[in-house]
Structure 1
Amino acid sequence: MPHTAQDWPIGAALLQFPDTTADGRPVQEAPPAEWAAVLHEVATEGFRHVDLTDSWLRPGDLSPERLCELARVLKEHALGVSAISVTRRSVIDPDPAVAAANLAYLLRTVDAAAELGTTVVCAGLHRPLTEAQRRAVWFWHEPGGSDPEDDPRTWSLAVERLRTAGERAARHGLRLSLEMYEDTYLGDPATAVRLVRDIGLANVGINPDIGNLVRLHRPVPHWEELLRPVLPHVNYWHVKNYHRDFDPATGAYFAVPAPLQGGVIDYRRALDLALRAGFDGPICTEHYGGDGLGVSAGNRDYLRRLLAAKLPAIEAARREDAS
């Protein structure tokens, strides 16, 4: 394996940090001291890597000078960038102008990722939250945008544009990872695998964020059915978990965030399956609600314990197979 349990890059997501400062300025335009305050919290929780989630700060929209300032702040806090995650910027948005702008932004983000020394850019096809989703207690309680079914033109456009981004990433020596998300062309294992195969680039793979799927208030397959088919293509991984329940008397579903070891996804089993399939990419710990960063830190420590338990046996099995 390329990493040990202790040095495997496990980054903190920045979902819980707002995109405006306390005095109302956009984080994008804030002085580096504002960035440093957030990254200090991340480092203080024991993280050595961060996923620069662009709901907080958009590296792809920083000037070269500001990007250098971000690199300096990261270095001051001894934080590597495990990935940059591009969120809710679909390159096949129904509005052609928005879709084209999103592709240009994704390409700029790939260039910024190379400047920051990361190895992964994560993107998806999910779209901005609807007004109903923003009003909901948890946004996944309400349906969001969806990609059109049986639409060869839109499918081909997704393949073409994501291949363009993948080719840009390859020129920089980066991976492009496509995030599984409901009701998009990455919303189930079969279509996600088909999309990656149609793109046809070795550096383009799947982020199996099955937490996005098990939280839905509707019937969903068992988590292992969602994970197993995509494992040969996994090159990055957002991990999070949810408590899930169903009341047959009323037909009501229930889902709320949970720590990794407490929800319906058995990450001890899931990580073992991924490692045995050859997964070697960075991991990002996510959590919605409460102290998301603190829960993510606990999730990181749990993952390191699992890696310490799993890696020796997997290494031994591979040495035996090679002999």
Structure 2
Amino acid sequence: MESRATTPPDPADWTAETWPIACNMLTFGATTPDGTPTIDAPAVTWAGQLRQVRELGFDHIDPTDAWLSLAKLSPERLDEFRSVLADEGLGISSISMTRSSVVDRKNGEQNLADAHRFLDIAPEVGASIVNVGFMQGLTAAQQKALWFWLEPGHVDDPELRPLAIERIRELGDHAAANGIQLSLEMYEDTYVGTPEDAVQFVKDVGHDAVGLNPDIGNLVRLHRPIPSSPGMIDLFETVLPYCNFWHIKSYTRDEDPTTGSYSSAPVPLKYGVINYRAVIRRALELGYRGPFCTEHYGSDSIGVCAENRDYIRQVLGSALNRPDLPTNQQGASA
């Protein structure tokens, strides 16, 4: 396929209304209702799913490989996808790999090759970020649970950490050569499973094109002890200076110290245990200029994502008009 690189807007020019806030396509799943893999579905199927997102007012999507792996499309089908995307009036601000660890003992080398392919596709479709993580496939128990996080899942092997650093650094080199960034998604029991571990991993990689995705929603939903503070702001404080992308979602969380029981459930951003108004404003203070990708599990996922997008824009609008922020963080609307 001939190169058709698309230059994304300069983050220095983003305003509250133009800041890229994508809808994650995860809600549509890897198969269609009749069981056809989404990757093999006709373009009209892709168009119908994309149209639902566009009708909710989204300008951007994140075509996660848990929906449709662009890395596995033939050049012809990738062109077909780009045509459908354009017809529906949507752009791509980020591409996420889900449960495709580059150190998976069985599929790690293939996942690494796919990550490289995503890094080549991203600038062609206008995306500035490729998001990867070390989470792996759901266990049988997780697949049967009401919420998969209620059952224990994969735990990273410390012996493979040096290989993980090597491969992420390799991807960072590729990202830098293509003028984009690589982001590492925080996820429990992985090398980036706590704020402290995540920062240390990024420091050990030591690459300017590699940052963090502070998806701390993945942590607050767990039915286990986690550090807590009002609004969970302390959990973010450690990682925000290293962040270049953001999967953003929220949950309720309750703990009963008498019985040792926990409960959590997905909710829109403004109703959860994380005070995202304070956290987003703090991120901007620290210089955050990355895209957002809205996520939600259960109920009308894309409908909640649209509510979350509007909430984020309101918070950005308020924060970007602060006279105490440096000029390059205020945006053109300030």
1:197 counterpart (185, 193, 203): 203
2:265 maps to which residue? Answer: 256
The alpha carbon displacement at 1:2 in A equals 3.3
Which has the larger displacement, 297-306 or 167-176? Answer: 167-176
2:325 maps to which residue? Answer: 317
Residue pair 1:15, 1:288 contacting (<8 A) in 2 also: no
Q: What do the CA deviations read for 1:224-281 (whole angstroms, capped 9, x no partner)?
A: 2221111111000011000000122321100110110000000000101100000001
**Aligned partners of 1:317, 1:85: CA distance in 2, in Å?**
30
1:125 maps to which residue? Answer: 134
Residue 45 (1) aligns with residue 51 (2): no
2:186 maps to which residue? Answer: 180
Q: What do the CA deviations read for 1:45-66 (whole angstroms, capped 9, x no partner)?
A: 0000101111110001111111
TM-score (norm 1): 0.94
- Counterparts in 2 of 1:238-249, with a 5 A limit? 238-249=247-258
Amino acid at match of 2:92: V
- Counterparts in 2 of 1:1-323, with a 5 A limit? 1-93=12-104, 95=105, 97-149=106-158, 151=159, 154-222=160-228, 223-313=232-322, 316-319=324-327
SS at match of 2:307: helix
The alpha carbon displacement at 1:19 in A equals 1.4
Q: Structure 2 unaligned runs (5+)?
A: 1-11, 330-334
The alpha carbon displacement at 1:316 in A equals 4.4
Q: What do the CA deviations read for 1:60-100 (whole angstroms, capped 9, x no partner)?
A: 1111111111111111111110111000011112x2x4111
Amino acid at match of 2:74: S
Amino acid at match of 1:318: P
**Aligned partners of 1:201, 1:2: CA distance in 2, in Å?**
25
- Which structure 1 residue ranges, 4+ long, deviate > 3 Å from structure 2? none
Amino acid at match of 1:135: K
**Aligned partners of 2:161, 2:212: CA distance in 1, in Å?**
17
**Aligned partners of 1:227, 1:320: CA distance in 2, in Å?**
22
Equivalent pairs counted in the alignment come to: 315
Q: Percent identity?
A: 49
The alpha carbon displacement at 1:319 in A equals 4.3
Amino acid at match of 1:225: D
SS at match of 2:193: coil
**Aligned partners of 2:201, 2:325: CA distance in 1, in Å?**
32
**Aligned partners of 1:16, 1:319: CA distance in 2, in Å?**
38
Q: Structure 1 unaligned runs (5+)?
A: none
Amino acid at match of 1:199: V
SS at match of 1:137: coil
Q: CA separation of 1:23/1:2 partners in 2, compared to 1, >3 Å: closer, same or farther?
A: same
Q: CA separation of 1:133/1:272 partners in 2, compared to 1, >3 Å: closer, same or farther?
A: same
SS at match of 2:22: strand
Q: CA separation of 1:32/1:220 partners in 2, compared to 1, >3 Å: closer, same or farther?
A: same
**Aligned partners of 2:318, 2:157: CA distance in 1, in Å?**
43
The alpha carbon displacement at 1:320 in A equals 11
Amino acid at match of 2:83: R
Residue pair 2:285, 2:325 contacting (<8 A) in 1 also: no
**Aligned partners of 1:299, 1:32: CA distance in 2, in Å?**
28
Root-mean-square deviation (Å): 1.5
